[in-house]
Amino acid sequence: MFLRYRTLGFVFKKEDKGEADQIFKIFTKDFGKVEVLAKGIRKISSKLRPQIDIFYLSEIEFIQGKIYKRLIGAFCVEKFKNLRRSFKRLSIAYQTCEALDKLIKGEEKDERIWKLILEVFISLDKEKFKVCSLVYFYFFWKLASILGHKPELYFCCGCQKRPELKKVYFNPGEGGIICQTCFSRIKQGEEVSQNLIKILRIILEKNLEFLKKVKAREKVVEELKEISNSYFLFLTQNNV
Ligand SMILES: [Zn+2]
């Protein structure tokens, strides 16, 4: 007799397996990140097929098999279909899911991550939404913070003092900003603008509704992209 598990989950990745199977990676409300095998789901006759897919919020039921968790039931609650109508939203959605996949290692329930996923996807799905370009960064930095990698943005990570000069550097290995003096000693890090630090503070301290009202110049968005990429690489390559 197998135990049946039932929960609500958001599908962030799917891969074909064998002739007609698929593996879904799902962040669930009650068990955190899980991988489930859906047998025969690519067959047209499959009852599960219309109920679960990438970017779906579905009620799922599964059992723990010898190797895989097996999906035995699914019911779609929300398809977020608007985000599929725009290439830009779709590419942000994929990028967001990539961060989710790479940064979360084990199976662990986390209410904050669950709420963050819903906040971001509900927002991405809305018709009128102007600051789409910042949504991914919002997700990435919030997720990194929840996972214990919130960057220090007020005090220098080298000397613990508030940087006196405006010139500061971001150093992923040190865990945040470093001042000019520490930079000349450590010799690692990227110079960042005051505007970049301001926007990062907003991302970390405010919610998405607030962030939507912020007008970010293209230059600072570019800078944000670079810093986010280097922090993402640091977190994934160093297995922290
Ligand atoms: Zn310093």
User: What is the residue extent of each domain of the chain?
Assistant: 4-78, 145-240
> Is residue 19 scored above 90 in pLDDT?
yes
Ligand 1 mean position, distance from CA 178 (Å):
5
| 172-200 pLDDT, tens digit each | 999 999 999 999 999 999 999 999 999 99
Ligand 1 mean position, distance from CA 170 (Å):
11
| 49-81 pLDDT, tens digit each | 999 999 999 999 999 988 899 999 999 999 999
Least confident interval from 34-43, 82-91, 121-130 = 121-130
Closest residue by Cα to residue 100 from 143, 66, 37, 148: 143
- Given the candidates 2.130.10.10, 2.40.50.180, 2.40.50.140, 3.40.50.300, the CATH classification of the domain at 4-78 is 2.40.50.140
Ligand 1 mean position, distance from CA 184 (Å):
10
Q: Would you state the pLDDT for residue 182?
A: 96
Ligand 1 mean position, distance from CA 93 (Å):
37
Q: Could you tell me how many helices (H) and strands (E) the chain has, helices first?
A: 7, 8
| pLDDT tier at 1, thresholds 50, 70, 90 | low
Rg (CA), the chain: 20
